Structure 1
Amino acid sequence: MKHISLLIPEGDVSFSNLEATYKMFTKVNEALQRTGQEPLFQVQLVGLTQDARITNGLFSIQPERVVREVSKTNVIIIPAVHGDMPQVIAANRDFGPWIVHQHRQGADVVSLCIGAFILASTGLLSGRSCTTHWLAADEFRKMFPDVHLLPYKIITDEGGIYTSGGAYSSLNLILYLVEKYAGRNMAIRASKIFEIDIDRHSQSPFIIFQGQKEHHDEAIKKVQEYIEQNFQHKMTVEELAEMAFLSRRNFERRFKKATSNTVMEYLQRVKVEAAKLSLETSQDNVNEVMYSVGYSDTKAFRATFKKITGISPLEYRNKYHKAVAEPIMR
């Protein structure tokens, strides 16, 4: 039987992470028992102190055990904790040595959504890949520059450390773990019970590009604003460098440092964001949208769009166009 330590951190913890994780593993146990098999998982809520308690105003959760009482576990799951991330990390730093020790003993370590901040603070993600909610990507990069962040991914799996993307994509990671521990058939069964797309791998379609302007390079910020207002028109790196009164080399270096994108990557992302909005709200076909955002090469537009969002323009339109989405909400 696998012992799963579902952490109860200090702070504004995601109840949905806790409830969904607990329920999915226990439902797998129930399914096994119905066929005469032994349960596979023992899930325990583990906190820093016995007095730890989290509440959402309606319900309260208290840990069953404290970390000092858990000498050996197989899986550690860190839920999302909302709030000021340096404060969240400070409040939960005492989990760190225990998590590292358990991982060295062979435990898998899992973070859900922005639980990646707590995981990264242990040092276990240093030099590794991880994901988190795309809205938290810029802050994560600033706090943990030695971690290879992949904010478009739903799941990462590297060396016994697992992370999930934003919000309810944590369900995809728990399902992934069910498949690892209980097999593909059980994972498929769980995906049907909980109505989860078992093969969803990317959160790129959900990312809203908000040009990175949390920097103090005013020359670069001016160019960003120009790109966002004139993305339909052709522009070259040389023209943009002249606008900033910089050499091309210095301009490209400063632009990448300020925005975490090359100039052309930034321009592509602005164009694709405009295309996404048009595909969601207008009646224009894909080619008309392509021309409206400044592309004339169909192949290049489709390739760029898919690279950034993970799906084709037509698939995006079919999935997110207002006329298609409205009946689902009724």
Structure 2
Amino acid sequence: MTESAARASIAIVTYPDVQMSAVLGLGDLFTIANRNSRQSGGGVLSVTEVSGRATDDTDGEPFAAVILPPTLKKSRGRNEKTIHEWLRAQHAGGALMCSVCAGAFWLGHSGLLKGRPVTTHWLLEDEFRTAFPDTQVNAEHLLIDDNDIVTAGGLMAWLDMGLFIVNRWLGPQVVSDTARHLLIDPSGREQRNYRSFRPPLTHGDSVILALQHWLEGHVDNEVTVKAMAGRAHLSDRTFLRRFKAATGLTPNTYVQNLRIEKARGLLERTRIPVSAIGWNVGYQDPSAFSRVFRAATGLTAGEYRNRFGVVARGAVTHGLPS
């Protein structure tokens, strides 16, 4: 919903180790949006960089929105009590609280995310769940709007957050004009379009690790739990327990994730027909492959290839026609 305002005040928090490219990029995005808005007689966004170590300098009326950008380092804000108190005060005063990527940790440690749906970078999902078990983490989404709290995942998701802010206060036409200026898509992306399956390999269970290595080259086989347990020389029950303990996944879920990851690679690097790719990664039913791939990535296999493929159209690979 667009909120009309002659001037909406936006705070970008420059906490310790903040990603300055995001801070400056957001400033530039809002500058371009303001220029486009003024041309049509609209309002503007007034942007302030608020130092995480000097939040007491901003006493007074709360901001319309507060943004916590990403960080490229390990900062999580756990002990930044001054910032936590300031964030809670801003929220209590009516500010829209926003985070990008690891910035969600700062909101979490402020106590503002309890029971809330939230997203962050998919690589940080497990760390975030451990730190804040009372949140509803949905890392497949690039942006989650929960009314007074908005979170975005991914280092570059500050673009999505910036356009969200622009839409909320300046309207969809300014979003369109700004996105066109920056040559970016204004909407429609999801984090699951980009995430990769990175199975844990440092769990210390050599038997399960050997099976994982074997699976890497045999996803096209009809791999059953019984077959995997037999290869690991374990009973079905013991195998299921040890596999879940080592990888965090059931064997069937693990194999499905591995197959989809292999399919992504073939779609990106080759022109093998989609039906053949499904067969190559273990799906004998093309419709089943299509359903599973779309559920995992948010895209059809053809859409994924069009967006991420790096092989020229018309190329022939592995002896198969394009």
TM-score, normalising length: structure 1:
0.83
Seen in structure 2, the aligned counterparts of structure 1 residues 110 and 254 have a Cα distance that, compared at 3 Å, is farther
Q: Is 1:83 aligned with 2:60?
A: no
The within-5 A match list for 1:1-330 is 1-11=7-17, 13-37=18-42, 39-49=43-53, 66-71=55-60, 72-85=62-75, 88-90=76-78, 92-213=80-201, 215-216=203-204, 220-242=208-230, 248=236, 251-252=239-240, 255-256=243-244, 258-324=246-312
Deviations 1:26-45, CA, capped at 9 Å, x for gaps: 333233333444x4322111
Q: Which moves more between the two structures, 66-75 or 204-213?
A: 66-75
Q: Which moves more between the two structures, 100-109 or 253-262?
A: 253-262
Structure 2: distance between partners of 1:147 and 1:45: 28
Ranges in structure 2 where 5+ consecutive residues have no aligned partner: 1-6, 314-322
Seen in structure 2, the aligned counterparts of structure 1 residues 258 and 146 have a Cα distance that, compared at 3 Å, is farther
Q: CA RMSD in A?
A: 2.5
Q: Which amino acid aligns with 1:43?
A: V
Checking the alignment, whether the CA contact within 8 Å between 1:172 and 1:197 is kept in structure 2 is no
- Percent identical pairs in the alignment equals 30
Q: Which amino acid aligns with 1:9?
A: Y
Greater RCO (Cα-Cα under 8 Å, separation 6 or more): 2
Checking the alignment, whether the CA contact within 8 Å between 1:137 and 1:151 is kept in structure 2 is yes
Alpha-carbon distance, 1:117 to partner: 2.0
Matched residue SS, 1:6: strand
Matched residue SS, 1:101: helix
Seen in structure 2, the aligned counterparts of structure 1 residues 215 and 197 have a Cα distance that, compared at 3 Å, is same
The corresponding residue for 1:54 is none
Matched residue SS, 1:124: coil
Deviations 1:186-221, CA, capped at 9 Å, x for gaps: 222222122221122302222121113454555544
Structure 1: distance between partners of 2:114 and 2:208: 30
Q: Which amino acid aligns with 2:51?
A: G
Checking the alignment, whether the CA contact within 8 Å between 2:78 and 2:109 is kept in structure 1 is no
Checking the alignment, whether the CA contact within 8 Å between 2:279 and 2:286 is kept in structure 1 is no
Alpha-carbon distance, 1:256 to partner: 4.3
Seen in structure 2, the aligned counterparts of structure 1 residues 109 and 215 have a Cα distance that, compared at 3 Å, is farther
Seen in structure 2, the aligned counterparts of structure 1 residues 251 and 107 have a Cα distance that, compared at 3 Å, is farther
Q: Which amino acid aligns with 2:252?
A: M
Structure 2: distance between partners of 1:270 and 1:232: 11
Deviations 1:147-198, CA, capped at 9 Å, x for gaps: 2222221101114111112122221121122112222222222221222211
Matched residue SS, 1:306: helix
Q: Which amino acid aligns with 1:45?
A: E
Q: Which moves more between the two structures, 254-263 or 314-323?
A: 254-263
Matched residue SS, 1:97: helix
Alpha-carbon distance, 1:121 to partner: 1.9
Alpha-carbon distance, 1:22 to partner: 1.4
TM-score, normalising length: structure 2:
0.85
Structure 1: distance between partners of 2:165 and 2:82: 26
Alpha-carbon distance, 1:258 to partner: 4.5
Matched residue SS, 2:284: coil
